[in-house]
Structure 1
Amino acid sequence: MRFSLVPLFLVAWPLAEIAGFVLVGRAIGLWATLGLVIGTAILGAVLLRTQGMHMLRQVSTEGREGRMPGRALIDGAMIVVAGILLLLPGFLTDIVGLALFIPFVRNLIWSLVGRRIVVVGSSNSTRYRYESGKPSPNDRKSGPVVDLDEEDFHRNPNPSSPWAGPKGKEP
């Protein structure tokens, strides 16, 4: 999306939500419309909690197996966005939020943006680079290591530092 369309989008979305409220209110009445809005907010909170816990277990499992949980993190991010959209009042946000809870929709979004996402993680002194969940050929490259003797390095503490100990010495 081009940045020149963002202000137009920010104005058009609330207007579309208001139009949705008017149309649904005319079709089913005021109290039923309010019930739908409150019901989707409750549904969003419940789904966010249950799906979020499932996502945390999945990320933990992938981490224990030594894999970078890139896909699980993206799924989790989409679930969080879906829950927030369901919590917001409005029927368009509810439609988008419910769609993001469907695994097929998340898989479709992942297939569109997954190849552009690079997850970089580190474990101890070894770095791993994953692109779309697959290890790259440069896997397990470690950076340069500098080994210094005690005489090669020393600290010059700043006496005015709030972290300096008594008489300007480090604790």
Structure 2
Amino acid sequence: MSSRLLLPLILLLPLAEIAMFVLVGQRIGVGATILAVLASSFGGMILMRKQGLSMLRGLQAGATGAEGGEVVRGMLHMVAGLLLVIPGFITSALGLLLLLPLTRSFLWRSLKPDVVVTRSAQFYRRSNTGERNTKSGPSVIDLDDGEFHRDEETKPKDGSGQNRSPWAGPGKQIDG
């Protein structure tokens, strides 16, 4: 879809949703319309929670597909849940359409050439104390005041003894 069309569609969506509320409300009544919107939102929340937990378990177990297909399918389920949560009949219809396996496979086939899946080589594990440890070791080194010193090379060569920043430019100093 062209980026020129995306902005007008996003801006027109609320107007179309309001028009659908009016049309559906005239057909089935206000109470039934409100119940339908609430049911759609509630169903979307349940779907997002279920799919999010399922995706998290799959990622932790390393059960993602070789090309990331499982992750993308899970994300499409999450998008379908989000569309169901958004109040409105058009977004709910799009969310329900996205729940169909045929629609998801079509989207995956069209998105697949543009998707790059990489795996991180760094994994985090929690120690018994609850701290996060990595396989490669800590990335932050905590030093006390007595353990840190500056080399002589970092002092200004003009002998002024003032703290100069390498980013401040020549003759400029740090206020502080």
| TM-score category of the 2 structures, normalised to the smaller one | 0.5 to 0.7
Contact 1:55 1:75 (C-alpha < 8 Å) held by counterparts: no
SS in structure 2 at match of 1:108: helix
Partner of 2:52: 52
Query: Structure 2 vs 1, CA of residues 68 and 35 (structure 1 numbering), >3 Å: closer, same or farther?
Result: same
Query: Structure 2 vs 1, CA of residues 78 and 98 (structure 1 numbering), >3 Å: closer, same or farther?
Result: same
Kindly indicate which of the two structures has a greater share of residues assigned to helix: 1
Contact 1:59 1:72 (C-alpha < 8 Å) held by counterparts: no
Partner of 2:110: 112
Gaps spanning 5+ residues in structure 2: where? 123-141, 150-176
Relative to the length of structure 2, the TM-score reads: 0.64
Deviation, 1:165, is 2.5
SS in structure 1 at match of 2:118: strand
Gaps spanning 5+ residues in structure 1: where? 125-162
| Pairing of 1:11-160 with structure 2 (within 5 A) | 11-61=11-61, 63=62, 68=66, 70-123=68-121
Aligned residues between the structures: 130
Query: Structure 2 vs 1, CA of residues 64 and 97 (structure 1 numbering), >3 Å: closer, same or farther?
Result: closer
- Identity, % of aligned positions: 36
SS in structure 1 at match of 2:90: helix
Bigger Cα Rg: 2
Deviation, 1:168, is 6.5
Partner of 2:144: 165
Contact 2:47 2:78 (C-alpha < 8 Å) held by counterparts: no
Kindly indicate which of the two structures has a greater share of residues assigned to strand: 1
Contact 2:41 2:86 (C-alpha < 8 Å) held by counterparts: yes
Contact 1:59 1:69 (C-alpha < 8 Å) held by counterparts: no
SS in structure 1 at match of 2:117: strand
